[in-house]
C-alpha cells in the first residue's frame, strides 16, 4: 500500500528554480583581527569560497591553527572512525558549562556514556510515534490562535515566536510528562539572550583569552544563565513537591539513574537539573529553527506548499495527525529534509585534535580546533548538483540512498549524534502537516532574513510571514 502510494507521488520538479544562496561565500578568508570581528557578527559570513569547494581548508587565527572540514570521508573519520582522538573541544565546555554544567551535551567519555544510557530508552521510534498526538496538538493550538482573527483573514505573524512556542509546548507534553511550565516565556527569553551572546565567548576563546576575562556580552551570558537555572530549579521544586511527574518521563528516568561513583548511589540533584535544562533547550530550539526555515522556503515555493497541503489532506483527512500517518507523509518529510539541508539548524559543529595528526593532508597540532561547517557541507559544490536550489526530489525514497551519512548530517554523526533526531524528524513532519492543512503561508516581501549562526540558525531580526488560516 505504501509502495503504491510512493509510486503515485509526483516527484517532478516544479516551476523555475529559485536561488537560495542566502550568504554569498567570501573569495578569501578574513585576516585574524577582522575574522574575529566578523565571527562575532555572524560566523557564516566568515566562510571563504574554498570551504564550499575543497575537502579541508586550514585556517590560522593568530597563533591558533584550525581547519574547516567538509569532506564526507574526513568528517566520518572525525566523528566516528577516530572519534576518541577528536573529542568536543574545551571551547564547548566554556560556552555551555555556565547554564548547563555537566550534562549529556557537555560531558565526555564515561561521564557522558552513563547519561546517554540513562535516557536512551525514551527515544525509540515506536515510542516517539506515540507522542505524535501531543506534537500535533501543539501545532493545532497555534492554528486556533491564528483563527481568532477569522478564517481567511491574512495577518502578519512573528513565525519565529509562534513556532518556538509550539515546539516548547510539544517537548513539555512529551518528554516532561505533561508537566505544566509557567516558566516557558522566561526560559525562552533567557535562551535567546544566551545564544545571541555566545559568539563573543567563542571569539574570545579563539583569540586565546581566558574564560574569566571580560567581553561586551559577559554580563548578558551570566544573567541569562542565572535566569535559566532559577526557572528550571523552580520547576523541579514544584514537580518534586507535587509528586506529579515521574514514571516513564525524562524526569522519571533521570531520577532513577545511577551516577557512577556517587556516594550513597542515585543521581545528584545538580545532574538532574543540568540534564532537564539541556533537554528542554536542545529539544525545542533546534526543531523550532528547522520549522521556521521550512515555512520560510514554502512561503516562496507556493507549488510545494500546495503539494504538501494536498498530501496532508489525503493521508490524514480531517482528523488530527497520528503516529500511523507519519510514514505516509512522504513529500512532507522530503521537504523538511531539503529545508534542513539548505538551512542547517545546527550550522557549525566543533571538535579538537588531541594529538599532532594529519587530516586529509593538513598537519594539525594537538589542541587545534576543527570546524565542521554543516552549513557548507550541505551546500558543497562537490557533493550536491546545484546546491543552492530547493529540490526535495533529492530526498525521494529511491534517491536518498545515494546521499552519504556524512554528506547530509543536520543531527551530526557518530556516537555523539543527536539523541533527539528521530523525535524531531517525526515532530517536524507532524507539525508541518498540521500547520499546512490549516493555514497558508506567504512571504510578505522585503529583504530576505539573514541566516545567523548563534549555535542554532536564527533568522536575523526574526521571521515574519503572512498567515491565512484556512
Smallest gap from residue 137 Cβ to ligand HEM (A): 17
Distance of CA 296 to the CA centre of its chain: 16
CB of residue 123 vs ligand HEM: minimum separation in angstroms? 7
Nearer to ligand HEM, 195 or 282 (CB): 282
Closer CB to ligand HEM, residue 52 or residue 79? 79
- In terms of Cβ atoms closer than 10 Å to its own Cβ (0-12, 13-18, 19+), residue 16 is exposed
CB nearer to ligand HEM: pick between 50 and 352 = 352
Closer CB to ligand HEM, 43 or 420, in the complex: 420
Minimum distance between the CB of residue 163 and ligand HEM, rounded to whole angstroms?
A: 12
Kindly state the smallest distance separating residue 90's Cβ from ligand HEM, in Å. Answer: 14
Closest approach of ligand HEM to the CB of residue 380, in Å: 17
Q: For ligand HEM, give the closer residue by CB, 371 or 469.
A: 371
Nearer to ligand HEM, 371 or 423 (CB): 423
Query: Residue with the closest Cβ to ligand HEM?
Result: 420
Going by C-alpha positions, the residue among 61, 143, 77, 149 that lies closest to residue 361 is: 77
Cα distance between the two ends of the chain = 30
Q: In terms of CB distance, is 190 or 290 closer to ligand HEM?
A: 290
Minimum separation from the CB atom of position 122 to ligand HEM (A): 8
Which CB atom, from 50 or from 342, has the smaller least distance to ligand HEM? Answer: 342
Q: Which is nearer to ligand HEM, 58 or 345 (CB)?
A: 345
We find the least distance from the C-beta atom of residue 350 to ligand HEM, in angstroms, to be 7
Rounded to the nearest whole angstrom, what is the least distance from the CB of residue 278 to ligand HEM in the complex?
A: 6
φ and ψ at residue 25, rounded to 5 degrees: -65, 150
The residue among 173 and 440 lying less far from ligand HEM, judged by its C-beta, is 173
**Which distant-in-sequence residues (6+ apart) come within 8 Å of 58 by Cβ?**
65, 66, 67, 362
Angle formed at CA 154 by CA 153 and CA 156, multiple of 5 degrees: 140
Residue 55 or 283: the one with the smaller Cβ distance to ligand HEM is: 283
CB of 455 to ligand HEM, least distance (A): 10
Q: Which residues bind ligand HEM (CB under 6 A)?
A: 104-105, 116, 175, 278-279, 282-283, 286-287, 290, 345-346, 349, 410-412, 416, 418-420, 423-424
Residue 429: CB minimum distance to ligand HEM, A: 11
We find the least distance from the C-beta atom of residue 156 to ligand HEM, in angstroms, to be 25
Amino acid at each position: 500500500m505504501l509502495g503504491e502510494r510512493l509510486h503515485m507521488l509526483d516527484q517532478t520538479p516544479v516551476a523555475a528554480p529559485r536561488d537560495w544562496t542566502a550568504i554569498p561565500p567570501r573569495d578569501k578568508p578574513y585576516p585574524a583581527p577582522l575574522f574575529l570581528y566578523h565571527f562575532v557578527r555572524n560566523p557564516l559570513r566568515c566562510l571563504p569560497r574554498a570551504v564550499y569547494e575543497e575537502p579541508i581548508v586550514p585556517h590560522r587565527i593568530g597563533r591558533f591553527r584550525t581547519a574547516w572540514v567538509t569532506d564526507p570521508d574526513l568528517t566520518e573519520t572525525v566523528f566516528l572512525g577516530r572519534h576518541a582522538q577528536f573529542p568536543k573541544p574545551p571551547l564547548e565546555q566554556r560556552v555551555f558549562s555556565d547554564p548547563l554544567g555537566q550534562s549529556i551535551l557537555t560531558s565526555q567519555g564515561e561521564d557522558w556514556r552513563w547519561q546517554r544510557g540513562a535516557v536512551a530508552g525514551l527515544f525509540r521510534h515506536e515510542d516517539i510515534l506515540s507522542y505524535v498526538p501531543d506534537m500535533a496538538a501543539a501545532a493545532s493550538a497555534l492554528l486556533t490562535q491564528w483563527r481568532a482573527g477569522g478564517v481567511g483573514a491574512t495577518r502578519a505573524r512573528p513565525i519565529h515566536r509562534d513556532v518556538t512556542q509550539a515546539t516548547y509546548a510539544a517537548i513539555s507534553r512529551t518528554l516532561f510528562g505533561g508537566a505544566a511550565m509557567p516558566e516557558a516565556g522566561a526560559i525562552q527569553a533567557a535562551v535567546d539572550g544566551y545564544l545571541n551572546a555566545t559568539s563573543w565567548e567563542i571569539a574570545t576563546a579563539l583569540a586565546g583569552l581566558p574564560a574569566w576575562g571580560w567581553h561586551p556580552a559577559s554580563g548578558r551570558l551570566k544573567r541569562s544563565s542565572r535566569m535559566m537555572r532559577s526557572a528550571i530549579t523552580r520547576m523541579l521544586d514544584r514537580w518534586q513537591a507535587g509528586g506529579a511527574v515521574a514514571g516513564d518521563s525524562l524526569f522519571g528516568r533521570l531520577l532513577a539513574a545511577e551516577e557512577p561513583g556517587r556516594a550513597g548511589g542515585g543521581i545528584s540533584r545538580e545532574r538532574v537539573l543540568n540534564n532537564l535544562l539541556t533537554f528542554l533547550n536542545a529539544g525545542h530550539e533546534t526543531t523550532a529553527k528547522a520549522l521556521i526555515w521550512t515555512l520560510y522556503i514554502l512561503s516562496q515555493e507556493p507549488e510545494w506548499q500546495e503539494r504538501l497541503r494536498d498530501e496532508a489532506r489525503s493521508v490524514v483527512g480531517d482528523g488530527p495527525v497520528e503516529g500511523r500517518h507519519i510514514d505516509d507523509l512522504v513529500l512532507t518529510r522530503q521537504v523538511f529534509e531539503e529545508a534542513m539541508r539548505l538551512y542547517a539548524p545546527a550550522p557549525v559543529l566543533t571538535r579538537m585534535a588531541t594529538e599532532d595528526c594529519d587530516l586529509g593532508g593538513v598537519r594539525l597540532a594537538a589542541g587545534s580546533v576543527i570546524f565542521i561547517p554543516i552549513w557548507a557541507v550541505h551546500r558543497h559544490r562537490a557533493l550536491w548538483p546545484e546546491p543552492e536550489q530547493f529540490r526535495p526530489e533529492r530526498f525521494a525514497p529511491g534517491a536518498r540512498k545515494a546521499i552519504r551519512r556524512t554528506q547530509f548530517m543536520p543531527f551530526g554523526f557518530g556516537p555523539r549524534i543527536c539523541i533527539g533526531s528521530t523525535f524531531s524528524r517525526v515532530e517536524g513532519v507532524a507539525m508541518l502537516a498540521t500547520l499546512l492543512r490549516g493555514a497558508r503561508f506567504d512571504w510578505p516581501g522585503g529583504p530576505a532574513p539573514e541566516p545567523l549562526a548563534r549555535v542554532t540558525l536564527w533568522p536575523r531580526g526574526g521571521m515574519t510571514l503572512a498567515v491565512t488560516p484556512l
